[in-house]
A and B are shown apart, each in its own frame.
Chain A
């Protein structure tokens, strides 16, 4: 069996204690929430913290408030969010994104904060120690070369979180606490376009909660490409959030935020594409222009599952499909949404 490296475990009771433990541990420390990302990485020695600061018993990380807006503790499990019918009704895109993460048992373990801070992924990085040793490692861990772009000075590992693009599209705000105090920042400011230093979270900070914008009048959705109806990380995703000047789908757009996931080391906010929509109804022409503008930002590299050319080709159609859904066309027939699933037992079988 693949084993975890030796470690020491600390169980703080409060956010303040957790932040202090993190500060004490320095570069040897890591926060452990659901463990579904960190522990596999540790088994493969991609990450080797010596001190794990367990967040399980920390008070105050499991806030769940829903009024005009919502405040969600980073320690909520993905399943807890999914089971909250009012929350899912208020933010249908959130429901879609959470339901698309991995598998039911992993959603019982994984947390909102954990998914927002998901380590970036890469075909050359998410490998066993021996496999990585055979290619002399890579820039992200133990090596000097980024095998995806050997001439590049940076790491191109891919942001593979489903929550990250959604929260950036929603314009959510996140709170970080450290021994020095707390600060709040826009979700998009949490992410950095670098495969190694992919978060602006300082090493001694704990992500504590996420505040969503008011849901009245908000239209949001999330579309994800993957091969199967479960397990898979996104190889391309689109999160879109809109507000219209009116109740009907043909009303002009007041505000639009389109975000591409899994095409770079951070969620890519297509600000120009969003601006193109403002003041116009969601006509086919407007949708096409916005989709083209956003798709230009999709510059995936060859370091995830699926061929590069196809992933790049999919960005425009997926954005257009998301916008059509938000116009009120009904759920798009793509990807897992169209999955035949397992229907009835065939009648007349043997």
Chain B
């Protein structure tokens, strides 16, 4: 650590990890990390939750979207320590045990996941959408997902899947 600090003068010499408590996928967690870590890095590297992906790290692709206090945010641009006392939901928190959430099931059934790399972010954003708007129009789904880039599907099968999930959640049979 000393050699590193000597090496670079443009950064503060004092290195202290911060310790925060937060709820991740319903479970209270305590985690210590350096203050410059983003929520994405804390999730992936300190909590071992690698389901959340990084596509650009600059807020330009949507792959790292998670729900923070219920709102979709890009975890690559949230400081970990600003999550003290807050609730985080990641893709790992969607399923109920072995039972997939209707959104997960619909995406799997209808071609809404191809390479799968944008899928965790899309699931989190769509989950918040259906909570606030249980019967969205196709245009509303497209608008909600306009911050999640997908290079495989051309988006239609994703939109199909979200519509189908809404139907299933409203009590319609799959």
Please tell me whether chains A and B touch each other in their complex, using a CB distance cut-off of 8 A. yes
Q: A: which residues have CB within 8 A of B? A: 1-9, 32, 35-36, 39-40, 43-44, 48, 50, 52, 54, 56, 79, 102-106, 108-109, 229-231, 341-345
Contact of A43 among B57, B65, B125, B144 (CB under 8 A): B57
Q: Which residues of A contact B62 (CB under 8 A)?
A: 103, 105
Q: Is the CB of B144 within 8 A of A5?
A: no
Let me know if A103 and B147 touch, CB within 8 A.
Answer: yes
In the bound assembly, the distance between CA atoms of A2 and B60 in angstroms comes to 13
A6 and B34 contact, Cβ closer than 8 Å, known pairs A103-B146, A104-B143: yes
Minimum-distance CB pairs A-B, first 9: A103-B147, A230-B146, A6-B11, A4-B36, A342-B142, A40-B58, A105-B72, A2-B57, A108-B71
Size of B's binding interface in residues, CB under 8 A: 42
Chain A binding surface SS class: loop
Given A103-B147, A343-B138, 4 further pairs, Cβ under 8 A: A3-B36, A6-B36, A104-B146, A109-B78
A43/B58 in contact, CB under 8 A: yes
Q: Is the CB of B142 within 8 A of A106?
A: no
B105 interface hit (Cβ, 8 Å): no
Residue of B nearest to A51 (CB): B12
1/0 contact string of B51-62 vs chain A (CB within 8 Å): 000100111101
B79 lies within 8 A of A102 (CB): no
A229 touches B146 (CB 8 A): yes
Q: Say how far B3's CB is from chain A's closest CB, in angstroms.
A: 15
A138 and B139 alpha carbons, distance in the complex (Å) = 42
Q: Are A35 and B79 in contact (CB under 8 A)?
A: yes
CB–CB B71/A9 < 8 A: no
Contacts of B10 in A (CB 8 A): 5, 48
**A342 near B155: Cβ-Cβ < 8 Å:** yes
A9 touching B81 by the CB < 8 A rule? yes
* Of the residues B37, B143, B147, contact of A102 by C-beta under 8 Å: B147
- How close is B107's CB to chain A, nearest CB, in angstroms? 16
Give Cα A341 to B141, complex, Å: 11
> Complex Cα distance A342/B163, Å?
13
Q: Are A7 and B12 in contact (CB under 8 A)?
A: yes
A197 to B73: give the CA distance in the assembly, Å: 30
Residues of chain B within 8 A of A104, CB atoms compared:
72, 125, 143-144, 146-147
Residue of B nearest to A128 (CB): B58
CB pair A56–B82 under 8 Å, yes or no, is: yes
Is B119 at the interface (CB under 8 A from chain A)?
A: no
Q: Which of B40, B59, B138 has the most CB of A within 10 A?
A: B59
User: Please, how many angstroms separate the alpha-carbon atoms of A1 and B58 in the complex?
Assistant: 10
CB pair B147–A5 under 8 Å, yes or no, is: no
Give the residues in chain B near A230, CB-CB below 8 Å.
Answer: 146-147
> By the criterion CB–CB under 8 Å, are B15 and A6 in contact?
yes
Cβ 8 A contact of B74, one of A32, A106, A343: A106
Given contacts A3-B36, A105-B72, A342-B139, contact A231 B156 (CB under 8 A): no
User: In the complex, what's the smallest C-beta–C-beta distance from A34 to chain B, in angstroms?
Assistant: 8
Residue of A nearest to B4 (CB): A6
Beta-carbon contacts under 8 Å, B65-81 to A:
65, 71-74, 77-79, 81
**Cβ-based interface call for B118 (8 A):** no
Cβ of B160 under 8 Å from chain A = yes
- Greatest chain A CB density within 10 A among B14, B37, B40, B147 is at B147
Q: How far is the CB of B99 from chain A (nearest CB, A)?
A: 27
A45 to chain B, nearest CB (A): 9
Give the distance in Å from the alpha carbon of A204 to the alpha carbon of B104 in the complex. 48
Smallest CB–CB gap between B12 and chain A, Å? Answer: 5
CB distance from A246 to the nearest CB of B (A): 36
Task: Give CA–CA (A1, B75) in the complex, Å.
Answer: 13
Does residue B35 face the partner (Cβ distance < 8 Å to A)? yes
State whether B12 touches A6 (Cβ < 8 A).
yes
Bound-complex Cα distance A6 to B11 (A): 6
Decide if B156 touches A105 in the complex (CB within 8 Å).
no
Q: Contact at B142–A341, with CB atoms within 8 Å? A: yes
Name B124's closest neighbour in chain A (CB-CB).
A105
Q: Tell me if A50 and B11 are in contact (CB < 8 A).
A: yes
A345 touches B74 (CB 8 A): no
What are 24 A-B pairs with beta-carbon distances under 8 A? A2-B57, A3-B41, A4-B36, A4-B37, A4-B38, A5-B10, A6-B12, A7-B35, A7-B36, A8-B14, A8-B35, A9-B35, A9-B81, A35-B78, A35-B82, A36-B77, A40-B77, A43-B58, A102-B147, A105-B125, A231-B146, A341-B143, A342-B159, A343-B138
